Structure 1
Amino acid sequence: MKRKTFDLRPWARVTQSTQTALAVPGYVIVDFMAQTVVRPLEVTRPESTSCHLILDNGYRWIRCHPTGTGEGVMGAALTVQLNAAGQPVQFYVDIHGGEGVYEDGLPWHDDLYLDVVGDPDDEDRWTVAATEIIDADELDDAVEAGLVTPTLAAQTWEHARQIEAQLRAGSYPPVDVLRRYVEDPYT
C-alpha cells in the first residue's frame, strides 16, 4: 500500500487554485478549486470509449474523506469533480486500507489501488448512471510485489464491488454529504 495525502495544491496542471478543509461529523471535506489550469484533463467515461473533461478553469474537486476508522481498516473516500457551472462531471472513489487526518487538517489514506469511477446521469447530475472499477493492474502488481496479500486483494475487490453497487443504487452516503455541502457549504 502507498500512503496518499489529498492535497492538490502542488498539482502541476494548475497554476492558480484555492483549497480549504472542513471537518464535519464523520468526514473531512477538502474543496479544491482550480482557477487557472494549464493542462486540462480528459478521461474516458465508464462503459464508454468517449472522453469527458474533468479538470479545467473553474472546476472543483471536492473530497469527502471518512474519519475515525484509522489505520488498517478498509474503507473508501469519494471525490466529486464539478465543472465550472458546479455540476458533477465524475465521481471517483478511492478504496483504502486505512485513513486519518494530519494536524494540518488534510486527510491521508493507505491506497489499495482499486478505484471506482462513476459517470453522472445526464438529467440528474448527482445520480450515478454508469460505473467502472479501474486500476486492477496496479492491484495485481502490488500483489506480485508483495505489497498486498492475495487475501487483502480479494477483500479490496469485494469492497470495490460493494461501493460500485451503492453508487448505482444511489445509496452511497458520501454522495449526499457532498451534495448538501455544494448546495449549502456552511451547514
Structure 2
Amino acid sequence: MKPLKRKYGDRAEWKRVVERRYAQSYLETESYKGQVTLLEISKVTEPLYVTYDDKNICIADDGYLWLQQFPSDKHHSVTTMFNARGKVVQWYIDICYMNGIGENNIPWMDDLYLDIIILPSGEVVQKDADELEEALRNGIIDKQLYDMAWEESARINALVKNGEFHLLRLSEEHKDFLLNRLQK
C-alpha cells in the first residue's frame, strides 16, 4: 500500500490564501474530544467556487473562516466553511483513515477519498466514490480500508439523516472559541 494523502489543519500549502490567521486547540468536553483548527482567510488571490448540480457556491473568499474538527479516534474530519458574514456555507466531511498530530503540532488527517457535503438547506451531496474505487484498483488502499471508508460513510449519513451528527451543531461553538483565541 502507498501512503494516503495527508491533509493538515493549517492548510499552509494553500497558495490561494495570501493573508491568513490561524488558531488551534485540543478540546475535551462532554460532547467533543479532539483537535479543532480555524483558518481566518483575510485575503485570497481569487474566490473559490464549487458547483453541486445547478448550485454555484463560493467556499473561500476574503473574510471567510474554515473551521476543521479532527475528532480523536474517529474516521472522519469536518470542515465548516463560514462566509464573511459568519453564515455557514457548507459542512464538508472527509472520510479518513485516521486523525493525528504532526511534528509541528499541526493536526492532520489521512484522506480516504469519500466526502459528504451538507448544505445549510439540509441537502446532502456524496462525492468521490470514483476516487475510492480507483485507489482500491491501483493498490493505494486495500479492501479493509475500502470497506472501512464505506462503513464510516454509511454511519455518518445515517446520523445526518436522523439529525444526530453533533459536529454540525458544535461548529458555531468551536468557531467562536477559536476566534476568541485569535483576538487575544
Q: State the TM-score, normalized to the length of structure 2.
A: 0.85
1:126 is matched with none
Task: Determine whether 1:82 maps to 2:82.
Answer: yes
| Corresponding position: 1:57 with 2:62 | yes
Aligned match of 2:47:
40
1:1-150 equivalent positions in 2, closer than 5 A = 1-25=4-28, 26-45=33-52, 48-67=53-72, 69=73, 75-121=75-121, 129-150=122-143
Deviations 1:142-163 (Å, cap 9, x if unpaired)? 1011111234313311211221
> Is 1:180 the counterpart of 2:173 in the alignment?
yes
Instruction: Give the structure, 1 or 2, with the largest relative contact order (CA under 8 Å, sep 6 or more).
Output: 2
Contact 1:60 1:84 in 2 (8 A): yes
- CA RMSD for the aligned pairs? 1.9
Percent identity between matched residues is 29
Maintained 8 Å contact 2:77/2:99: no
CA drift at 1:49: 1.8
Provide the rounded CA distance (Å) in 2 between the counterparts of 1:30 and 1:130.
25
Q: Which amino acid in structure 1 is aligned with residue 55 of structure 2?
A: S
Q: 1:162 aligns with which of 126, 142, 155?
A: 155
Deviates more, 1:137-146 or 1:97-106: 97-106
Counterpart-to-counterpart distance in 2, 1:117 and 1:6: 18
Whichever residue aligns with residue 86 of structure 1, its letter is G
In the TM superposition, what is the alpha-carbon distance from 1:183 to its structure 2 partner?
A: 4.3
| TM-fit CA distance, 1:60 | 0.5
Amino acid at match of 1:105: N
Instruction: Give the length in aligned residue pairs.
Output: 173
Letter in 2 for 1:171: E
**Equivalent-residue separation in structure 1 for 2:150 and 2:45 (angstroms):** 35
Cα distance in 2 for partners of 1:154, 1:115 equals 15
